[in-house]
Amino acid sequence: MEIKYLRFAALLISAWAAMSLQFNVAYAEGKAKVTMLYKGHVEPIQGKTFLPWSTHDGARSLSTSVFVIQSGGKVLVGDPGIVRKGDWPTIMEKLANMGIRPSDVAYVWIDHHHPDPTAHLGAFPNAPIVDFWSVYTDEVWADHPNYFEVIPGVTVVRTPGHTNEDSSLLVDTDDGLMLITHMFWHNDLTPVIDPVAEDQHSLDVHRRLLLQRADLLFPTHGEIMKNPFKNTEWDGKPYRR
């Protein structure tokens, strides 16, 4: 009986060793690893008008999906923004459990300038902020080109539409190219018409341009999914699985 348990334990340990080996090999090849720290949401509040600017006392409930990318020995945190009350310490705990201290974070990237992806920007003392056009290191505001590789395999692409200051990330992962973007808020690719877009036409152009290239899609109020529109044109409709 005891020997049987020992054998089972040995089997578990060797399976774990094989998995860690696989992870290390993949990491050494320079592919980026994306880990979600928090899943965002956007929801109406009962009795309140959902759309901004419709009434003077409208309101909505939202948070942003917070994530971390590890690549080439560098750590990037994405969209450290609004979370539900009391949830921020849990996010920092998840980072700590991955062996990442706030001071280890090399860059913070924000998908646009509204408070939803930016509210906790100050939590990473050594991390320059990266947005659609620049890298902000202390008092130095340094410009970068479109398609800027911020850490190995992680590229910032300008995707104006929701605001003129929106960008997305193209991330080279083991599972293919991942598009991390606010161009879609949710996993059903809604809202098709962004109710607060500064330029809906530009939003649609950039959606079609990038969506067909990506194997994986990560809408920044949602979570990572397989891209149903890889190599085909998005039909401009909500996506139902």
The verdict on 221 binding Zn ion (CB under 5 A) reads no
Cβ atoms 27, 19 nearer than 8 A? no
- Give the residue with the Cβ less far from Zn ion, 62 or 127: 62
114 interacts with Zn ion by CB under 5 A = yes
CB of 80 to Zn ion, least distance (A): 14
Handedness of CA 23, 27, 29, 31 (dihedral sign): positive
Judged by beta carbon, residue 202 or residue 212, the one nearer Zn ion is 202
Amino acid at 212: Q
Size of the site for Zn ion (CB under 5 A): 2
Strands (E) in 39-114, as ranges, are 41-44, 60-63, 66-71, 74-78, 107-109
Q: In angstroms, what is the minimal distance from the CB of 185 to Zn ion?
A: 9
CB-based contacts of 162-166 (< 8 A; 24+ apart in sequence): 162/112, 162/194, 162/196, 162/197, 162/198, 162/203, 163/112, 163/113, 163/114, 163/198, 164/198, 164/199, 165/112, 165/113, 165/131, 165/132, 165/133, 166/111, 166/112, 166/132
Which residue from 113, 130, 200, 129 is spatially nearest to 169, judged by alpha carbons?
Answer: 130
Closer to Zn ion by CB, 114 or 158: give it.
114
Nearer to Zn ion, 95 or 197 (CB): 197
Query: Is 236 in a helix, a strand, or coil?
Result: coil
The stretch near Zn ion (CB under 5 A) out of 69-77, 109-117, 221-229, 232-240 is 109-117
Site for Zn ion in 48-107 (CB under 5 A): none
Of 116 and 204, nearer to Zn ion (C-beta) is 116
Closest separation in Å from C-beta 117 to Zn ion: 7
Window contacting Zn ion (CB under 5 A); options: 56-64, 108-116, 150-158, 220-228? 108-116
Q: What is the CA radius of gyration of the chain?
A: 20
Q: Could you tell me how many residues make up the chain? A: 241
Least distance in Å: CB of 187 to Zn ion?
Answer: 18
| Choices 16-24, 49-57, 96-104, 115-123; region in contact with Zn ion by CB under 5 A | 115-123
Closest contact distance (angstroms) between CB of 140 and Zn ion is 26
Q: Which is nearer to Zn ion, 70 or 220 (CB)?
A: 220
Residues in contact with Zn ion by CB under 5 A are 114, 116
